C-alpha cells in the first residue's frame, strides 16, 4: 500500500486500548487529520516521542478507511517549555483546539501550521507575554481563514487615525470615535491596540511579533481579539473556560 510522508504537529492525543494513541495532526498538505499510532505509548516504541502532544515530526502514514495509520515517525521539534507552566500549557491547548476546529486545508493549512509553530515557540521559550501570543493567534488565524476584519479605516467617514475606534466583532468593520458615538457604540480600541491589530493582521509572518504594546492597550486588544475569534467559531471551545481562569 502506498504511504504518505508529511511533516505534522500533534494537536491532540487520545489513549486507545492498552498502548495505542489516536492522534489529531495538523499537516501542511493534508490539513487536519486523524491517525492511529499503534503501540506508541510503549517506552521502547520508536513512535513514543514523535507522537507526543505538541511534537512537530515527520510522519510516514498509511491511508485507511476512516483514518491514517502511523508507520514511522521522527521528531523534528519538541516544545519542552510549553509544559513548564500551567498557563502556557493551557494556552497551547486552546490554540491547538482552535486550529483543529477550523480544519484548514491547502494553503490555509500550511499558513495555520506555520503560525501555530511560531506561537508554540514563543510560549516554550517565554519570548512574549502569553496574552500577546493569544491575541496574535486569534486575530491572525481568523484572517488567514477568511475572516479578516476591515481594519484600514472607519467604515462611515474613512478616518484612518484617532485616539479611539470601535471594532464590530460581528460584522468586522471599524468606526472612529465620532461615528461610533452616532451609532450608539462604545469604543473598544485605543490607538496602541488599533496599531497592534493592523500589524498582526497585515504583516509578514516573520514580523508578526515585532511590535510593542502598553499594558492598557494590550487589555483592549486581548478583549477584542478573543471576542472576534469566538464570534466566528462554529462551536464553543472546551479549553476556553479553564484558560480564562488563568488568563482573565
Q: DSSP string of 88-156? A: HHHHHHHHHHHHHHH---HHHHHHHHHHHHHHHHHHHTT-S-HHHHHHHHHHHHHIIIII--EEEEETT
The answer on pLDDT for 194 being more than 70 is: yes
Q: Which among 204, 34, 237, 233 is positioned nearest to 145, based on CA atoms? A: 233
Residue indicated by cell numbers 509578514? 204
Q: DSSP string of 19-34? A: TEEEEEEEETTTEEEE
- Is the entire prediction scored with pTM above 0.75? yes
- pLDDT digits 0-9 by tens, 77-125: 999 999 999 999 999 999 999 999 999 998 999 999 999 999 999 999 9
| Pairwise CA distance, residues 62 & 14, whole Å | 19
With beta carbons less than 8 A apart as the criterion, state whether 13 and 23 touch: yes
C-alpha cell recorded at residue 61: 502514514
Q: Give the confidence band of 234 by pLDDT, cuts at 50, 70, 90.
A: confident
Average model confidence (pLDDT) across the chain: 96
| Pairwise CA distance, residues 111 & 106, whole Å | 9
- pLDDT digits 0-9 by tens, 177-186: 999 999 999 9
Average pLDDT over residues 217-233: 97
- pLDDT digits 0-9 by tens, 10-48: 999 999 989 999 999 999 999 999 999 999 999 999 999
C-alpha cell recorded at residue 141: 488565524
Report the pLDDT value the prediction gives residue 1, as an integer from 0 to 100: 65
Amino acid at each position: 500500500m502506498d504511504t504518505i510522508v508529511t511533516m505534522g504537529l500533534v494537536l491532540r492525543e487520545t489513549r486507545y486500548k492498552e498502548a495505542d494513541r489516536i492522534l489529531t495532526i495538523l499537516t501542511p498538505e493534508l490539513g487536519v487529520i486523524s491517525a492511529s499510532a499503534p503501540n506508541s505509548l510503549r517506552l521502547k516504541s520508536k513512535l513514543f516521542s514523535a507522537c507526543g502532544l505538541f511534537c512537530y515530526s515527520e510522519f510516514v502514514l498509511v491511508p485507511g478507511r476512516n483514518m491514517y495509520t502511523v508507520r514511522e515517525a521522527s521528531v523534528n521539534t519538541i516544545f519542552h517549555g510549553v509544559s513548564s507552566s500551567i498557563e502556557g500549557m493551557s494556552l497551547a491547548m486552546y490554540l491547538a483546539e482552535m486550529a483543529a476546529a477550523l480544519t484548514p486545508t491547502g494553503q490555509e493549512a500550511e499558513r495555520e501550521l506555520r503560525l501555530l509553530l511560531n506561537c508554540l515557540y514563543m510560549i516554550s521559550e517565554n519570548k512574549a507575554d502569553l496574552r500577546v501570543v493569544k491575541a496574535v493567534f486569534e486575530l491572525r488565524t481568523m484572517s488567514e481563514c477568511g475572516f479578516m476584519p476591515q481594519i484600514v479605516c472607519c467604515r462611515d467617514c474613512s478616518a484612518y487615525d484617532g485616539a479611539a475606534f470601535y471594532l464590530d466583532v460581528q460584522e468586522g468593520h471599524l468606526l472612529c470615535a465620532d461615528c461610533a458615538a452616532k451609532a450608539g457604540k462604545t469604543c473598544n480600541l485605543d490607538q496602541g491596540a488599533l496599531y497592534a491589530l493592523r500589524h498582526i493582521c497585515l504583516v509578514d509572518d516573520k514580523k508578526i511579533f515585532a511590535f510593542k504594546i502598553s499594558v492598557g492597550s494590550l487589555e483592549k486588544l486581548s478583549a477584542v481579539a478573543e471576542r472576534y475569534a469566538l464570534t466566528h467559531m462554529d462551536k464553543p471551545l472546551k479549553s476556553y473556560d479553564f484558560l480564562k481562569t488563568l488568563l482573565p
